[in-house]
Amino acid sequence: MNIEPVYTSVGVLFKRQSKFFIPKYQRAYAWNSESVSDFISDLNICFDKRKHGSQINHFFGGVLSVKRNVIGAFDQHEYEIIDGQQRIATFTLLVAGLIKSYKDLELEAQKSSEDNNNISIIKKRYQDLLNRFIEFEQEIQREVTPVEVLKLSKADHSFYRDLIRNHEADPLRDSHKKMLSAYEKLNKNLELIINQCEKIENKIDNLEIIQNILDYDFTVLHMITDKKEDAFRLFQVINDRGTNLTDGDLLRAKTLEMLEQFPGEQIIVEELWDKILADSPSETNDYLNWIYDSYQGTRPKPNAVFDMFLDKFFPEHKNNNLTEQDAQKIRKTMQNIHQYIIKCRKLVQGQWLYEDKQPITAWDRTRLNIIVVELGHSLSIPLFLAASELDHKQFSEIVQMVERTFFRYKLICNEHITALKNIYSKEALEIRKDYQSYHPNSLREKLHKLIQSKVPNQTFKNALKMLKYQESGTSNKPLKYFLMSIEYYYQWYKEGANEQPLCHDKSRVYDFAGTSIEHIYPRNPNDNDKDETIEPLKNSLGNLTIMDPQQNRLGYNDPFLQKKHLYEKSSVILNKEISTKENWTTSDIEHNQEFLIDAALKIFIP
């Protein structure tokens, strides 16, 4: 491997009208706020030193690239950046900020009819920066064309191109947001530097110092190779030495490397990865882990996601010579993974995975949002990914079983989640083994056994007695969910609680966030209405119900008899039952709690 290292300043790196571009297997822009802040801190240190007459050098590390001659142009080259894209892109974002600052000063200078000299200097300065760092004209065979100095990945370049030209640009992916944030922070820092002075001449001088820092003080070690076949190997070696690449970045690089001899398939896979990696790295990492878990029945080891995911989904990487058939398999696998990524995005937002059709109603679809979003049970997602291969009725049945079991097993009885998670993993494998003959009763049996062994009725009953409204510090979501569930299944319970739990009236769908927990005996009664015998029970289960927020505000802290009419008019059946009471006493609270707990024993089973 022949590598030519050159220690150089950033100014020299961009001096010869060279073109830099990001290869297909590279990740998108990834510098976070901390990295940009460190960059700005380095810039400010160098600025202060130059301002006081003593320049210092700041070394930014290595930039590794593959060098190529530009065909038809004399002594001009283009460089494929293997490592260093984040620094190179941030240098050009800083230059774009400099150009913007100069143009703002130009407008300021134009207000004075006698400031032509400054206007001339400013124009010369920003035109020089444009030609060196943004775009230059290149003559090839007597034809002159504009050439962009830096071309980022396909997913980033359009946004980047608009951003550095100060055009309107909508950030459509995580890398765009990071890039925009970096550009805005750099501009803000330049404004602070400019505003240190009042005279326009001094402002221009300060910007010149920034230019000098780029030209002379900021340095890199430019390592150059001219062999394309070394690129992927070097990319992996650099990552092994500590470059912060995500597992998604590495999988993207590896799959594109595998398809190097199959450009048609490579283009499709590249586009799929651009779509997959549009989320934040942490979100993408979750999605890849869930997909792997859904197929393998276990999460990949924390430090081995890349290797384990590669072995599971792309076994072709072990072949020394890939065939056209191998390439097609890789492409089809990527298309499948992309579809699962889309499902992951929907699931984390509680969105239904199927088109709306009977017999599944809005009430059934809401259960998915409740379990994943409101109750935060993301551990169920690998199972739901596998279950998405089933029809919508079976999927809905599984969601509701998981919902009721999770509430009983974890939220109320606080049993260790591992046993429940193991059931999900085994069931995901059962579904994938033969989804056409699969029946949800398989999951129901496993969950029933878990409940009988870990959270039998007496255990669940004792835990429910401890469920109280929390004044502060703890979420009341489980309590609200409990009361809403009792309401939904109330008619089924009253009719004998036969067979599986069933909501008879699915036309009533209460908004989880918009539904309030109501204290029947008021939470903060007036002194005249206070009942010392009820006070110790006011936050207990038997004194609570659900209500529309508007009705809740109307009743607020009124005593029972004054807000009884609100219960009579309520759409909540539980409230209509409460309204039949002549008064609200400790005995009523105790009886109501016994009813709620007895109903729960019937409802919260798979």
Mean pLDDT for all residues in the chain: 91
114 falls in which pLDDT band (50, 70, 90)? low
Residues 307 and 366 in one domain: no
Report the C-alpha gap between 492 and 499 in whole angstroms: 10
For residue 356, being part of any structural domain is answered with no
Residues 183 and 274 in one domain: no
Residues 300 and 196 in one domain: no
Sequence-ordered list of residues with C-beta below 8 angstroms from that of 41, at least 6 positions apart, any chain: none
For residue 357, being part of any structural domain is answered with no
- What's the number of domains the chain is made of? 4
Residues 37 and 71 in one domain: yes
Tokens linked to 522: 């008021």
pLDDT at 243 over 50: no
Residues 337 and 366 in one domain: no
Q: What is the amino acid identity at position 139?
A: E
Task: Give the pairing type, strands 150-151 and 19-21.
Answer: parallel
Q: Which has the closest alpha carbon to 295: 333, 330, 243?
A: 333
Biggest alpha carbon–alpha carbon distance for the chain: 98
Over residues 410-416, the mean pLDDT reads 96
pLDDT value at residue 117: 86
Q: What are phi and psi of 16, to 5 degrees?
A: -95, 25
Tokens linked to 103: 């143009």
pLDDT at 550 over 70: no
pLDDT at 3 over 90: no
- Reported as a single tens digit per residue, the pLDDT across 306-318 is 899 999 999 999 9
Rounded to 10 deg, the angle between the 586-603 and 477-488 helix axes is 80
Residues 179 and 271 in one domain: no
User: What residue numbers bound the domain in which 333 lies?
Assistant: 247-348
Could you tell me if residue 382 is left (phi over 0), alpha (psi between -120 and 50 degrees) or otherwise beta? alpha
- Reported as a single tens digit per residue, the pLDDT across 58-74 is 999 888 888 888 776 66
Residues 42 and 90 in one domain: yes
Q: What are phi and psi of 150, to 5 degrees?
A: -125, 125
For residue 176, being part of any structural domain is answered with yes
Tell which of 295, 315, 348 closes a domain: 348
In the block, tokens 């109750």 appear at: 375
260 falls in which pLDDT band (50, 70, 90)? confident
pLDDT value at residue 142: 67
Residues 178 and 282 in one domain: no
Tell which of 240, 271, 292 closes a domain: 240
- Reported as a single tens digit per residue, the pLDDT across 353-393 is 999 999 999 999 999 999 999 999 999 999 999 999 999 99
Tell which of 240, 262, 293 closes a domain: 240
Specify the DSSP element, H or E, that contains 55: none
Long-range contacts, stretch 316-322, CB < 8 angstroms, 24+ apart: 316/258, 317/254, 317/258, 322/258, 322/259, 322/261, 322/262
For residue 300, being part of any structural domain is answered with yes
Q: Which has the closest alpha carbon to 62: 79, 84, 81?
A: 84
pLDDT at 177 over 90: yes
Task: Give the least confident one: 43-52, 69-78, 478-487, 560-569.
Answer: 69-78
For residue 460, being part of any structural domain is answered with no
Tokens linked to 148: 């962009």
Residues 220 and 265 in one domain: no
Q: What is the amino acid identity at position 44?
A: N
Give the burial class of 320: count Cβ atoms within 10 A of its Cβ; 0-12 exposed, 13-18 middle, 19 or more buried: exposed
230 falls in which pLDDT band (50, 70, 90)? low
Alpha carbon separation from 118 to 192, 204, 265 (Å, rounded): 21, 8, 55
For residue 285, being part of any structural domain is answered with yes
For residue 462, being part of any structural domain is answered with no
pLDDT at 140 over 70: no
Which range of 22-36, 113-127, 194-208, 228-242 scores highest in mean pLDDT? It is 194-208
Apex CA 131: angle with CA 127 and CA 132, to 5°?
A: 120
Task: Give the least confident one: 111-115, 353-357, 379-383, 457-461.
Answer: 111-115
Over residues 219-223, the mean pLDDT reads 90
Over residues 200-229, the mean pLDDT reads 90
Q: What are phi and psi of 26, to 5 degrees?
A: -80, 155
Report the C-alpha gap between 605 and 450 in whole angstroms: 11
User: Does residue 140 or residue 432 have the better pLDDT?
Assistant: 432
pLDDT value at residue 554: 64
Q: What are phi and psi of 218, to 5 degrees?
A: -80, 120
For residue 475, being part of any structural domain is answered with no
Task: Give the least confident one: 94-108, 136-150, 371-385.
Answer: 136-150
Residues 191 and 256 in one domain: no
Residues 138 and 205 in one domain: yes
User: What percentage of the chain has pLDDT greater than the value 70?
Assistant: 94
Apex CA 237: angle with CA 232 and CA 238, to 5°?
A: 100
User: Does residue 595 or residue 242 have the better pLDDT?
Assistant: 595
Over residues 489-509, the mean pLDDT reads 94
Q: What is the DSSP string of 521-562?
A: S-SS--GGG--TTTGGGTTBGGGEEEE-HHHHHHHTT--HHH
Residues 221 and 78 in one domain: yes
Q: What are phi and psi of 80, to 5 degrees?
A: -90, 115
Q: Which has the closest alpha carbon to 280: 249, 305, 308, 250?
A: 249
Q: Is the peptide bond before 359 cis (omega within 30 degrees of 0)?
A: yes
Over residues 476-503, the mean pLDDT reads 95
pLDDT at 322 over 60: yes
CB atoms within 10 A of CB 369: 17
CB atoms within 10 A of CB 12: 15
pLDDT at 332 over 80: yes
Sign of the C-alpha dihedral, residues 97, 103, 107, 108? Answer: positive
The length of the chain in residues reads: 606
Considering only CA atoms, give the Rg of the chain.
32
pLDDT at 17 over 60: yes
User: What percentage of the chain has pLDDT greater than the value 90?
Assistant: 72
Q: What are phi and psi of 18, to 5 degrees?
A: -95, 160
User: Does residue 234 or residue 409 have the better pLDDT?
Assistant: 409
